[in-house]
Amino acid sequence: MTHRAEEVPRTVGAVLTPAPSTGPGTRTPVVRRRLAALTGAVLLGAVLAGCADGGAGPAEARDDGAAPAEASARPSAPAPTGDGPVRTSEGMLLVTDFGADSVTFLDPSEPDGGSGRSSVKVGTAPYGIALADDGTAWVATAEGVAAVDTATRRRTALIPYETDTGPVSTGEYRGGGMGIALSPDGTHVYVGVNVPGGNGTLEVVDTRERRVVTAVPVGRRPFDVDVSRDGRQVYTTDHDSFGVTVVDAGTWRSRRIEVAPYGTEGGLGSWLKPHYTAVRPSDGALLLPFEGERLAVVDPDSGRVRIERMTADTHQHGAVVTEDGTLYVVGTGPIDPAEDEGPSLTVRAPGGEERVIPLDGPHEDVAVSADGRTAYVSGGFTRDGYWNGLSVVDVATGEVRRVEAGARPLGIAVL
């Protein structure tokens, strides 16, 4: 299938305020109907910032007695349980429990997560997760960045943010860490910190010293954080600012690229915003899916945005690209059920050909097994309608089965 692309220049500049509305742009009739439906939703209070709040009220910070941040040495043996030592086999998953204060280890080959399933407290409302080569899982929570030793299944640090995010709370709009990523050499963790009602920051954590070493202003609600393959640049996907912030990892200077293939009409009430980004291995381009209709291909150096056609016709969130250039995109479900398709997983080949695999119920993020045969799609979802499990997708056949997970699972790491 050949896809038509159009070149769209975008303004590049420093991130200081959310992107202003530019007025109506060119839209398909479907999008016009979506915007009309959204206007009613906003008036009803169902949509405040592009995706409805599914969370509870403020929650107190928890102290589970984990080792302090300075305790970075790993114990030599797995922590014992009532059933004998915990074993974390290759191919097991670690998921964040956005509806709790934990991460959960599970075996995706078993419907109930297997006998090795267990949870570890990390901090309130954990969101994104990044796995280091040394086996440390770094987790963005509402309270700080947690470090989890995946061999012993213990939290070894909780590093507080420097950014003032207000009272610790839960739900979609809670303050604190969202997207998270590691530098290629593993020396730094980058976490996008949401500040309710204002612009966010990119906080940089030294993984050896286990402390925040700098904070860079970015846009509103940094859903995702990604890093260039050479480590020179860090990218935050700023949901409520309709764009991406490019941060130089040497100077910490930043610039903004607007990514708004539907325009910015609707502001905070719009659904037509970027959520997650994947960095294409072949050329470092940033891939941002929109609505199962358009894929924004962004050159992070020039700031130019090219639009390619997509086919799933559904609201889209999580995205990941594998080494061969295959893009996996999570479709969460319709904005307008009368016009749009339901939840799905899009598997997009490097040449643009797409397979759309239907899923049952909303989902949020996706990870892929090392051999590329299996995709794991989290059912947590940042909006209402989430469920406590994962869809395990056979990429070759499209067969889907469900596995129990933790409470509202969002982020996924393949161990």
Which DSSP string corresponds to 253-282?
-EEEEE--TT-STTGGG-S-S----EE-TT
Q: In terms of DSSP bridges, do strands 80-81 and 154-160 run parallel, antiparallel, or are they unpaired?
A: unpaired
Identify whether the C-beta of residue 233 lies closer than 8 Å to the C-beta of residue 195: no
In this predicted structure, what is the pLDDT of residue 89? 64
Strand partners, 137: 131, 148
pLDDT mean values, one per 10 residues, the chain (415 residues)? 36 31 33 35 34 36 36 31 46 96 97 96 98 98 98 98 97 97 98 98 98 98 98 98 98 98 94 97 98 98 98 98 98 95 98 98 96 97 92 98 97 97
In this predicted structure, what is the pLDDT of residue 88? 56
In this predicted structure, what is the pLDDT of residue 51? 54
Q: What is the pTM of this model?
A: 0.82
In this predicted structure, what is the pLDDT of residue 42? 33
To which H or E segment does residue 287 belong? strand 286-290
**Does domain 6-18+58-71+85-414 sit in CATH 2.130.10.10?**
yes
> What residue ranges do the domains of the chain occupy?
6-18+58-71+85-414
In this predicted structure, what is the pLDDT of residue 196? 97
In this predicted structure, what is the pLDDT of residue 8? 37
In this predicted structure, what is the pLDDT of residue 91? 87
